[in-house]
Structure 1
Amino acid sequence: MWIKLLIMTCILSVINCEDKEKTENDMEIFASKIKEKYKEVKIDENDARKKVIRSELISANEVKPPSDDYISVGIIVCNVSTSRLVKGIMRMFSKMLKSMFAFSTGSPIHLVLITDAKSHQYVHSAVANTISKHLSETLIQLKTDILTPDWEILSKFPKLWVEFVDVKSISEKNIDKIKLMREYFSLNTTEVVTMPLEDAEDGTPRVGHVSPKYNDDLFYIAPFYGSELIHVNRFIMLDADLDIRQDLGELYKYFHLMNSTEIIGITTDQSGYYHIAIKFILQKMKEDGKMYIQTVDNMKLRGLNTGVVLYNTEKMRNSAEFNGYLEKEKIVGLTYEIGLAHGWFQVGDQDFLNAVMWRAPHLFKVLPCEWNFQDPKLRLKEELKCDQKPKILHIHGEIHDEYSKL
């Protein structure tokens, strides 16, 4: 018997080694494809792009818009050559930049790209190449559309200032709190986790898959934008998998519509991701007679999605209430405060901010759904679908497509 067990153990070891070797080989292929597609672009003193791109990797506390006219827009683009996390991030990021430029009506943009040392070169190349390509295509359009004045088309390309921020300059300064957040607001695993969901209306069983990417520090930095971006007072944060269909100056106007207590502008979740949690909490509130959630606003009860967020970083720095939620004791106890047990939350700082919103709803302003029109592969509640024409389209899942679609 022990001989059979020994043979089976050896066979399984060989299979595991083969799987590991195949995975490592796939990752090497992916990294080489990224390196080939996004070759280093060096911008010399005579290059016009030098005026709009600060090429070096800097700390968050060095970030500064050229003037108050510029809209600071952040995007996280990290781990771009690591296929096991987010395979399609560079493809989606480049597509997003094109849409931002294409729908610009001239609002000055301060683009803050949060990345890591290994990804910096590739992200820099993507930005430089996208700017060049957009301007070249614009000039071709000028030659073919003689009815449109040159200055009218060129003036729509936004005034631009691009900076690259080392993600570690945010994460390492707050690493103790981030470790706690990871423990309470993720599944804390390096493997894909499959979880059962509510059955469909016709009784079909459904499951969800949680990416291991939420084990990475970068998914816990949002609450610290106020304390780390010390020269930025208003900050629009966007996911890399968006299709922008409106000048971002229109989105920026919502900062002026926030009241004195509102410090973060969010759109609500449109997939039903928080449906099971909120159903459980509301029932628990009835049974226990406690107000675990401090809002009856149906929109906020849906939970939030951090694909598009407006952070009033000046207010974040100065809000004792918000910063109180960043104390270690509060991070540990927040899940229990809203009536849930450890293990409910899975997706990092989105879940953390959602828990804060349910406890302190007055800190959050709900934005119109069209500014983060979500098109998930699986929608648990159809009534949550946005009924407006998208101004920013958020296609969930496409960012995880295979590297063959780079």
Structure 2
Amino acid sequence: MLIVNMNEDKDFDLGFKTRTMYSLLSLILLADPNKPLHLIFVTDEKSKLRVGWMVKEVISKILLVETLAALPGEKTHIPKLYFSMVDYHDVSQHGTDFQWVFKYHLDLLTAHGGTNTKKYFMDFFNIGPMYHRAFTKLEKLLFVDCSDLEYRADINLIRQEFDEMDKWPAVVMGIGKDLSLHYWDWVVSYRREVKNKTHFGKPGRYQGFNSGVVLYDLEKMRNSKVYNEAITKDYALQLFEELGSIPTVGDQDFYTALGFVHPELFYIIDCKFNAQTSLQYMQERFRDRFDEYHYCAEIDQIKIIHKNGCGPTPRVCGEDESKVATKYYLAGAYNEIERQIDWSFFARQKYREVPKLNFINYYNYIGGKQRFDGYLGNIL
């Protein structure tokens, strides 16, 4: 889990902190209590103290509620937890030449006025490809986004995806599809050049990746000649140039580009472990194709919801709903039924589902303001 404070000496942005704490809460509360979890926070020297406070606050509130609600002699309902912190600079140093490629493209975009944010060009958004060189004592690693994920099932269920990866000798990484037409647009120049004779960007195996949830087989990454030759400055630069595309969302773009030319390196994880909610590409030009890219499964089958991009309606994304609404959207397929932790019965029931009519995350938006005290304000 990557958590870096971009506010320098100030506290985390309130909205970011709220989402991160809720994500961590849902991860821990739904995890199998009989299976220990080792949470690794990739951060930096300036952020580590605040990361520690945030994690401490989450854990202490969970334990306090359990203590108040549990009957004498009952065991806790959360797993044994281990925590580690890693400075992202220690990871970044293993690929400084590779990361130069992203800085080079940032300079290109800036010179032509093509970007209004430098967020995804910062080093810590491009260090994933070097994890195998940094975490030398680990064989496998699960990376999850820190602030945009809502867990609806036991995180240990994703172990089955690691098992599937083991069946493919060349696979070094498991990653989900990007459930949008982002990469259809991303390779538009290349598609024109080859007169549309390519699968790149089309729905299915080549529609692009989303790095909100990534399974790294670190041992196979270390042993893959093809992969290690790819994470060099010259290779990455040539790869983006051949596609006529510029990386704008960190290492996710690199994984997608590499997956186009070396699909054997990647295993596509079940979309239920990274079901993205963004309706950004529900546009009039994509009305007939959006569902093919975006739909994953019924809400009760989803294990991890990735609340990315814009939504929950096309109007919020600046679109006229009457012109862009798709068949699945009109049928209610993308309506999020939220999960609410019932703290008063937590020790006995662990959690229960409470359906809501609204689509917006109730915990993130109360009266237009992002706050966190709604979790425990009624009992503390």
TM-score normalised by structure 2 residue count: 0.71
What is the identity, as a one-letter code, of the residue corresponding to 1:102? Answer: L
Among 195, 206, 210, the alignment partner of 1:305 is: 210
1:1-400 equivalences in 2 (<5 Å) = 75-82=1-8, 88-106=15-33, 107-143=35-71, 150-151=74-75, 154=76, 156-184=77-105, 189=110, 211-240=117-146, 241-258=148-165, 259-286=168-195, 298-337=203-242, 339-341=243-245, 344-380=246-282, 381-383=290-292, 384-389=294-299, 390-397=302-309
- Greater Cα offset, 354-363 or 275-284: 275-284
Structure 1 residues 354 and 392 mapped into 2: Cα distance closer, same or farther (>3 Å)? same
- Secondary structure at the aligned position of 2:248 is classed as coil
Q: Is the 8 A contact 2:275 2:296 kept in 1?
A: yes
Instruction: Name the residue aligned to 2:323.
Output: none
Structure 1 residues 296 and 97 mapped into 2: Cα distance closer, same or farther (>3 Å)? closer
Cα distance in 2 for residues equivalent to 1:382 and 1:347? 23
How many percent of aligned residue pairs carry the same amino acid?
Answer: 27
Instruction: Give the number of the structure whose residues are more often helix, by fraction.
Output: 1
Structure 1 residues 242 and 179 mapped into 2: Cα distance closer, same or farther (>3 Å)? same
Task: Tell me the CA shift for residue 215 of structure 1.
Answer: 2.5
Structure 1 residues 221 and 296 mapped into 2: Cα distance closer, same or farther (>3 Å)? closer
Cα distance in 2 for residues equivalent to 1:190 and 1:404? 36
Q: Is the 8 A contact 2:94 2:130 kept in 1?
A: no
Q: Is the 8 A contact 1:264 1:365 kept in 2?
A: yes
Task: Tell me the CA shift for residue 184 of structure 1.
Answer: 3.8
Instruction: Give the number of the structure whose residues are more often strand, by fraction.
Output: 1
Task: Tell me the CA shift for residue 132 of structure 1.
Answer: 1.1
Q: Is the 8 A contact 1:85 1:213 kept in 2?
A: no
Q: Is the 8 A contact 2:174 2:269 kept in 1?
A: yes
Structure 1 residues 296 and 121 mapped into 2: Cα distance closer, same or farther (>3 Å)? closer
Q: Is the 8 A contact 1:185 1:348 kept in 2?
A: no
Structure 1 residues without counterparts, runs of 5 or longer: 1-74, 195-209
Write out per-residue CA displacement over residues 62-109 of structure 1, whole angstroms, 9 at most, x where no aligned residue. xxxxxxxxxxxxx10002535899763222111111001111112221
- Secondary structure at the aligned position of 2:204 is classed as helix
Q: Is the 8 A contact 2:142 2:216 kept in 1?
A: yes
Structure 1 residues 84 and 280 mapped into 2: Cα distance closer, same or farther (>3 Å)? farther
Cα distance in 2 for residues equivalent to 1:191 and 1:138? 56
What is the identity, as a one-letter code, of the residue corresponding to 2:74? Answer: D
- Secondary structure at the aligned position of 1:243 is classed as strand
Task: Tell me the CA shift for residue 362 of structure 1.
Answer: 0.7
- Secondary structure at the aligned position of 1:254 is classed as helix
Structure 1 residues 88 and 397 mapped into 2: Cα distance closer, same or farther (>3 Å)? farther
Task: Tell me the CA shift for residue 281 of structure 1.
Answer: 3.3
Q: Is the 8 A contact 1:186 1:345 kept in 2?
A: no
Write out per-residue CA displacement over residues 228-248 of structure 1, whole angstroms, 9 at most, x where no aligned residue. 110111111011121111111
- Secondary structure at the aligned position of 1:275 is classed as helix
Task: Tell me the CA shift for residue 193 of structure 1.
Answer: 5.7
Structure 2 residues without counterparts, runs of 5 or longer: 283-289, 311-360, 372-380
Q: Is the 8 A contact 2:141 2:217 kept in 1?
A: yes
Task: Tell me the CA shift for residue 364 of structure 1.
Answer: 0.6
Structure 1 residues 135 and 193 mapped into 2: Cα distance closer, same or farther (>3 Å)? farther
- Secondary structure at the aligned position of 2:176 is classed as strand
Task: Tell me the CA shift for residue 313 of structure 1.
Answer: 0.8
CA RMSD of aligned residues (A): 3.3
Task: Tell me the CA shift for residue 181 of structure 1.
Answer: 2.9
Structure 1 residues 221 and 100 mapped into 2: Cα distance closer, same or farther (>3 Å)? same
Write out per-residue CA displacement over residues 93-146 of structure 1, whole angstroms, 9 at most, x where no aligned residue. 111110011111122211010011111111001111211111111233324xx9
- Secondary structure at the aligned position of 1:117 is classed as coil
Q: Is the 8 A contact 1:190 1:213 kept in 2?
A: no
What is the identity, as a one-letter code, of the residue corresponding to 1:276? Answer: D
